Amino acid sequence: MKHFKGGVAVITGGGSGLGKALAIAAAKRGMKLVLADIQADALEHTVEAFRSQGTEAIGVQVDVSDASAVQGLADQAEQRFGRVNLLFNNAGVTSGGLIWESTEKDWDWLLGVNLKGVINGVRVFAPRMLACVETDAAYEGCIVNTASMAGLLTSPGMGIYAVSKHAVVAFSECLHHDLQLVTPKLRSAVLCPSYVTTDIGNSERNRPAHLAVPEGLTKSQQAARAASQHSIANGAISAEEVAEITFGAIESNRFYVFPSPEALALVKARAQHVLDQTNPDLPYELVPTLKERRDRLLAAITQ
């Protein structure tokens, strides 16, 4: 995709963090914005900031796990701006701890946002974007799904999150294959950042009341949260840098977007274990963040 000016970008999780950074990158390229977020105050503040700078933007409060809400998002985007060129299925939340300690409500929340949110976005928007391909010879579009390096790696205390992001990677690859059967004018990409300085470590703030767990966090879940928050706060790359890398990938029609390529050594090591049929292992001595997570978990469950 080469032309952005005058196009429309829909971004879920657009009120803050990586979603907001993607919106900034889109606005710099002259795009109109449809920002969706579950957190109304952050969304309103971000939309007003864009409007004050001259960017055409609307905000829609959306729980992406709700299919009807995503349908409403698509309707509002179309009514306000017409065709959509870029869809960023970016909304995400995180949790952790020993995998068997994740409750049914934990799984419903994580998979609802991280996976079903992506599914809903593609299911609702892709047919509309494909219709634009049929009616406009100049149309270009791209669907970008935010996964994570946790969609390619596994580690202690990240089971529930890694499962959701592995599913997003597989879903995105299947979307790529399917679109190739239909048209070259609508493409897809999967974004797999490592630790980026955003507020995802505090995503419990937007957890729906009906999916809350009254008994609170277990020791392993507390340790996993602390480790994640520390790693996120000390992320080696900013959300703005990730957004620019993502737009570069869109321009060059690149499917895999890895803003932290140094992590690919771990992916290669994991793939080698799979090919050699050896047990999963991690080079903790080479990756301080993984070692810290493991050590925090060990301390929590053995005290």
| Residues designated as active site | 161
Instruction: Report yes or no: 8 and 30 within 8 Å, Cβ to Cβ.
Output: no
Measuring CA to CA, which residue among 257, 269, 266, 256 is closest to residue 289?
A: 266
**Start-to-end C-alpha separation, the chain:** 54
Residue 246 to residue 251: CA distance in whole angstroms:
9
Strands of the 256-257 sheet, one edge to the other:
57-61, 32-37, 8-12, 86-89, 141-146, 186-191, 256-257
Residue 200 to residue 40: CA distance in whole angstroms:
16
Side-chain-side CA neighbours of 37 within 13 Å: the count stands at 25
DSSP state letter for 147: -
Measuring CA to CA, which residue among 33, 194, 15 is closest to residue 91?
A: 15
State both tokens at 129. Answer: 């974007």
SS3 state at 136 = coil
DSSP of 164-232, one letter per residue? Answer: HHHHHHHHHHHHHHHHHHH-SSEEEEEE---SBSSSGGGGGGG--GGG--TT---HHHHHHHHHHHHHH
